[in-house]
Amino acid sequence: MTDIEELEAKVNELPNEKFALFRDWFYQFENEMWDNQIASDFRAGKLNHLIEKARFEFSQGKARQI
């Protein structure tokens, strides 16, 4: 059995209350991972082209401030 299969089996065995706690924890964990990835990409300049494109479109009247 793989690690993933073991995790799936354990999650399937959780009672509803513990599953809800796990789900909430995992949701927060995943969001933190996503936030960290975005911050890392920003620091590395990987989003610069998107920022410049948005600024250009805004200057051309193709976008509006929100």
Could you state, in order of their start, the residue ranges of all structural domains in the chain? 3-59
pLDDT in tens, the chain (66 residues): 899 999 999 999 999 999 999 999 999 999 999 999 999 999 999 999 999 999 999 999 987 777
pLDDT at 5: 97
Alpha-carbon distance of 55 to 36, in angstroms, equals 24
- Residues 6+ away with beta carbon under 8 Å from 63: 54, 57
What pTM value is reported for the model? Answer: 0.69
Is 66:58 a contact under the CB 8 Å cutoff?
A: no
Predicted local distance difference test score (pLDDT) of residue 34:
98
Q: Find tokens 């009247």 and name the residue.
A: 61
The confidence score (pLDDT) of residue 1 equals 87
